C-alpha cells in the first residue's frame, strides 16, 4: 500500500474496514528551519536549533547575501554534474586556496590582467578561519568581504560596459553597488556538511556512493534587479562553473586523480597540516591561519569524526 | 536560389569532422562574427541570453575555449578527450537564398581516462550565406540529458 501514497491517496478505503488509521501513516517529516533565505532540513528531530548549529557562521551568510545589492537574492538555474570520487574531496575544495593558481591556469589565461591580479590571492592578506561545527570561511579577497563598503573603489575594466549601461537608469552610488555585487563576494563559506556559499554561487554536494558524488552549482542573482546585471552574472557563472565551464572540469579532473591516488594503499599519509605552524586564535576563540592554510579542512574533518563516532553533543 | 539541404549538410558534417579531429582553429572560421555556439540546459528555452546555459559562446568565448583546449594548461583537456560523432536525420526547416535553419540528430561517444560516455543530442542550426560562402550563425546543442547530472565535458559538443 505504501507506494500508493505517491498517487495522492488510498484507493477503495472501505477495503480496510476501519483498520486504516492514516494519521499513523504520514510521510516522513524533517526538522526544517530557515536562516536568511537558506532552508536547512534534518532527519534528526533532536538536533540543536539551526541558530545554534550555524553559530559563528551566520554573519558570513549575511555578508554573502549582500550580493542582492539591496534586492533579495534569487537562484537563476544550476549546473549539475557528477565526478567519480568521494564527497569529502569536494568538501575540502571549497576551503582550498592553494589549488587555484595551479588547477585553474587555463581559466586565469582567459581573463584580463586586472582579473588575474584579483585572483592572485594565495600569498595575499586573506585568511582561513574555523567557525565551529565544521564550518569555516576562506577569505581570498579581503576588499570584497563587505560589498556595501568600498563603493568608491574604481570599477574593474571588465565591468565598465555594464556600469555605463546601468548609469542610464541608476544613480552613481547604486551603479557601484550593483557592479560590486555582480563581481561576487571575496570569500568561500563552507557549511558542514554539504553547502558552500562560494564567492558568487551556492555549491550543494550529495554523496551518491563512496566513490561517486553529485554537485550542484546554483547561480544567484538580484530578484528585481536589472536584467543586464543578472545576465552578466549568468555569463560569469557559465565561464567558470559547470561541466563545460573553464574551471569546474579541471577541478573534477583533480578530484578524480585524488580518488585514484587514494587507492595506492591504506597506510599512506594524507597531510592536513598546512598552516598549522602559524595558526592562532582570535579573541572570540576562532582558530585562523593564512589563506592557503588547511584550517578549514581540519575544522570539517573534526566535525566529520564527531558524526562518524557518534559522540553526540560533542 | 535557396540554400540546398546538401550544401547545409556539407557544412555541418565538415564541422563535426573538425571537432572530432581537433582542427579547432579551422572550426572558428566556420562561424559568422556574430555567431553563437549554445549548449542550453532548459530543453524549451529559446532566449538563451536570459538563462543559465552550459555554454553560451560568442566569437570571443569560442576563441578562448579553443585556446584553453589547445594550451596544455588545462588538466581536464591534457590529454584531450577523444570523440567520434555521427550526424543524421537531417531536416531543412526553412530556406532562402540568404539563410536557412535545419536540425539533425547527433550521437557522440567520448573516451577519456579509460571511460566512455555517450551523448545524444538534437542539433539546431541557423546558417547564413556570406561573401565567404555558407557560415554558421547559430548552433544549438540540445542534449538529451541536459537536465540530468553531466560529467565534465572538456571538448566541443
Ligand atoms: Fe577549483
Question: What's the CA gap between A219 and A216, in Å, rounded?
Answer: 9
**Would residue B22 be called left, alpha or beta, if left means φ above 0 and alpha means ψ between -120 and 50 degrees?**
left
A216 within 8 A of A87, measured Cβ to Cβ: no
> For position A8, what pLDDT does the model report?
63
Q: Nearest-CA neighbor of A140 among A296, A287, A270, A303?
A: A296
Q: Nearest-CA neighbor of A297 among A54, A88, A83, A5?
A: A88
Cα dihedral A9, A13, A15, A19 in deg (nearest 10) = 100
Of the pLDDT bands very low, low, confident and very high (cuts 50, 70, 90), residue A9 is: confident
Pairing of the two strands A187-191 and A195-198: antiparallel
A275 within 8 A of A128, measured Cβ to Cβ: yes
- A residues 254-273 near B, CB within 8 Å? 254, 256-257
Q: Write down the residue that cell numbers 537574492 correspond to.
A: A73
Upper half-sphere CA count for residue B50 (Cβ side, 13 Å): 6
Q: Quick count: other Cβ atoms within 10 Å of Cβ B67?
A: 16
Chain B environment of A252 (Cβ under 8 Å): 76, 151-152
**Would residue A218 be called left, alpha or beta, if left means φ above 0 and alpha means ψ between -120 and 50 degrees?**
beta
Q: Nearest-CA neighbor of A75 among A41, A39, A111?
A: A39
Task: Give the residue on B whose Cα is nearest the Cα of A233.
Answer: B52
> For position A1, what pLDDT does the model report?
41
Backbone angles phi, psi at B57, to 5 degrees: -105, 125
Averages of pLDDT over each 10 residues, chain B, 157 residues: 96 98 98 98 96 98 97 93 98 98 98 95 98 98 97 95
Of the pLDDT bands very low, low, confident and very high (cuts 50, 70, 90), residue A5 is: very low
C-alpha cell at B61: 568565448
Q: Quick count: other Cβ atoms within 10 Å of Cβ A289?
A: 21
Q: Nearest-CA neighbor of A147 among A229, A62, A63?
A: A63
> For position A312, what pLDDT does the model report?
52
In this prediction the pTM is: 0.94
C-alpha cell at A179: 557592479
Q: What is the pLDDT of residues A263-277, one digit of tens each?
A: 888 888 889 999 999
Element (H, E) at B139: strand B133-143
Is A243 in contact with B152 (Cβ distance < 8 A)?
Answer: yes
Nearest to A238 among B52, B150, B157 (CB): B52
Question: What's the CA gap between B136 and B101, in Å, rounded?
Answer: 10
Of the pLDDT bands very low, low, confident and very high (cuts 50, 70, 90), residue A311 is: low
Identify the residue among B49, B50, B52, B141 best suited for mutation to test binding to A, counting A beta carbons within 10 A and taking the highest. Answer: B52
Partner B contacted by A244 (CB < 8 A): yes
B146 within 8 A of B122, measured Cβ to Cβ: no
Positive or negative: CA dihedral A68, A73, A76, A78: positive
> How far is the CA of A194 from the CAs of A24, A92, A140, A181, in angstroms?
32, 11, 21, 24
**What CATH number labels B5-143?**
3.10.450.50
Which residues, other chains included, contact A46 with Cβ-Cβ below 8 Å and sequence gap of 6+?
A: none
Q: Which residues pair with B32 in a beta bridge?
A: none
> For position A314, what pLDDT does the model report?
45
Q: What is the pLDDT of residues A68-89, one digit of tens each?
A: 999 999 999 999 999 999 999 9
Partner B contacted by A243 (CB < 8 A): yes
Domain ranges of chain B: 5-143
Ligand 1 centre and the CA of A251: distance in Å? 5
Partner B contacted by A246 (CB < 8 A): yes
CATH superfamily of A55-311: Naphthalene 1,2-dioxygenase Alpha Subunit; Chain A, domain 1 (3.90.380.10)
State yes or no: pLDDT of A24 exceeds 50.
yes
Percent of chain A surpassing pLDDT 70? 96
Task: Give the residue on B whose Cα is nearest the Cα of A215.
Answer: B149
Query: Is A129 exposed, middle or buried (CB count within 10 Å of its CB: 0-12, 13-18, 19+)?
Result: buried
Question: What's the CA gap between B58 and B64, in Å, rounded?
Answer: 10
Nearest to A103 among B54, B75, B151 (CB): B75
Chain A environment of B152 (Cβ under 8 Å): 81, 83, 243, 248-249, 252-253
Nearest to A253 among B64, B73, B76 (CB): B76
A-B interface: how many C-beta pairs under 8 angstroms? Answer: 93
Q: Among A17-31, A151-165, A172-186, A223-237, which is the least confidently predicted range? A: A17-31
DSSP state, residue B108: E
Chain A environment of B110 (Cβ under 8 Å): none
Chain B environment of A110 (Cβ under 8 Å): 64, 67-68
A16 within 8 A of A4, measured Cβ to Cβ: no
Q: Find the mean pLDDT for residues A144-161.
A: 95
Nearest to A109 among B50, B71, B76 (CB): B71
Question: What's the CA gap between A314 and A302, in Å, rounded?
Answer: 10
When the pLDDT of each residue in chain B is averaged and rounded to a whole number, the result is: 97
Q: What is the pLDDT of residues B123-148, one digit of tens each?
A: 999 999 999 999 999 999 999 999 99
State yes or no: pLDDT of A41 exceeds 90.
yes
Question: What's the CA gap between B66 and A143, in Å, rounded?
Answer: 33
When the pLDDT of each residue in chain A is averaged and rounded to a whole number, the result is: 93
Query: Is A47 exposed, middle or buried (CB count within 10 Å of its CB: 0-12, 13-18, 19+)?
Result: middle
Question: What's the CA gap between A254 and A248, in Å, rounded?
Answer: 10
Ligand 1 centre and the CA of A77: distance in Å? 20
Q: Which residues pair with B142 in a beta bridge?
A: B122
Amino acid at each position: 500500500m505504501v507506494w500508493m501514497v505517491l498517487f495522492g491517496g488510498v484507493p477503495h478505503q472501505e477495503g480496510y474496514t476501519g483498520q486504516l488509521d492514516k494519521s499513523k501513516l504520514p510521510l516522513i517529516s524533517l526538522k526544517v528551519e530557515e536562516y536568511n533565505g537558506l532552508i536547512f532540513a534534518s532527519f534528526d528531530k533532536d538536533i540543536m536549533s539551526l541558530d545554534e548549529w550555524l553559530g559563528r557562521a551566520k554573519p558570513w551568510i549575511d555578508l554573502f547575501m549582500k550580493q542582492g545589492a539591496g534586492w533579495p537574492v534569487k537562484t537563476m538555474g544550476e549546473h549539475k554534474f557528477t565526478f567519480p570520487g568521494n564527497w569529502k574531496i569536494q568538501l575540502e575544495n571549497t576551503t582550498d586556496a592553494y589549488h587555484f593558481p595551479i588547477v585553474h591556469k587555463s581559466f586565469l589565461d582567459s581573463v584580463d590582467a586586472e582579473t588575474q591580479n584579483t585572483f592572485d590571492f594565495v600569498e595575499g592578506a586573506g585568511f582561513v578561519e574555523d567557525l565551529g561545527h565544521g564550518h569555516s570561511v576562506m577569505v581570498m579577497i579581503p576588499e570584497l568581504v563587505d560589498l556595501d563598503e568600498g563603493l568608491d573603489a574604481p570599477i574593474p575594466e571588465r565591468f565598465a560596459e555594464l556600469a555605463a549601461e546601468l548609469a542610464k537608469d541608476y544613480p552613481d552610488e547604486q551603479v557601484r553597488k550593483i557592479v560590486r555585487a555582480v563581481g561576487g563576494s571575496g570569500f568561500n563559506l563552507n557549511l558542514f556538511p554539504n553547502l558552500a556559499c562560494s564567492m558568487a554561487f551556492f555549491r550543494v554536494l550529495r554523496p551518491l556512493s563512496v566513490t561517486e558524488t553529485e554537485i550542484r552549482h546554483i547561480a544567484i542573482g538580484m530578484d528585481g534587479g536589472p536584467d543586464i546585471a543578472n545576465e552578466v552574472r549568468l555569463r560569469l557563472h557559465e565561464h567558470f562553473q559547470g561541466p563545460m565551464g573553464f574551471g569546474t572540469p579541471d577541478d573534477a579532473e583533480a578530484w578524480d586523480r585524488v580518488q585514484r591516488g587514494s587507492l595506492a594503499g591504506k597506510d599512506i599519509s594524507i597531510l592536513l597540516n598546512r598552516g598549522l605552524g602559524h595558526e592562532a586564535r582570535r579573541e572570540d576563540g576562532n582558530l585562523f591561519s593564512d589563506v592557503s592554510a588547511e584550517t578549514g579542512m581540519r575544522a570539517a574533518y573534526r566535525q566529520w569524526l564527531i558524526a562518524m563516532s557518534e559522540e553526540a553533543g560533542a | 536560389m535557396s540554400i540546398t539541404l546538401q550544401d547545409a549538410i556539407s557544412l555541418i558534417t565538415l564541422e563535426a569532422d573538425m571537432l572530432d579531429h581537433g582542427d579547432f582553429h579551422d572550426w572558428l572560421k566556420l562561424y559568422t562574427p556574430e555567431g553563437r555556439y549554445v549548449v542550453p540546459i532548459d530543453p524549451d528555452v529559446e532566449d538563451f541570453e536570459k538563462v543559465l546555459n552550459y555554454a553560451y559562446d560568442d566569437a570571443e568565448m569560442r576563441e578562448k575555449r579553443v585556446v584553453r583546449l589547445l594550451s596544455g594548461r588545462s588538466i581536464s583537456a591534457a590529454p584531450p578527450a577523444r570523440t567520434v560523432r555521427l550526424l543524421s536525420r537531417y531536416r531543412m526547416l526553412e530556406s532562402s537564398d540568404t539563410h536557412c535553419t535545419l536540425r539533425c540528430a547527433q550521437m557522440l561517444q567520448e573516451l577519456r581516462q579509460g571511460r566512455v560516455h555517450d551523448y545524444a543530442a538534437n542539433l539546431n542550426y541557423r546558417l547564413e550565406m556570406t561573401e565567404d560562402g555558407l557560415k554558421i550563425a547559430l548552433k544549438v546543442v540540445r542534449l538529451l540529458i541536459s537536465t540530468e547530472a553531466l560529467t565534465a565535458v572538456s571538448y566541443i559538443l
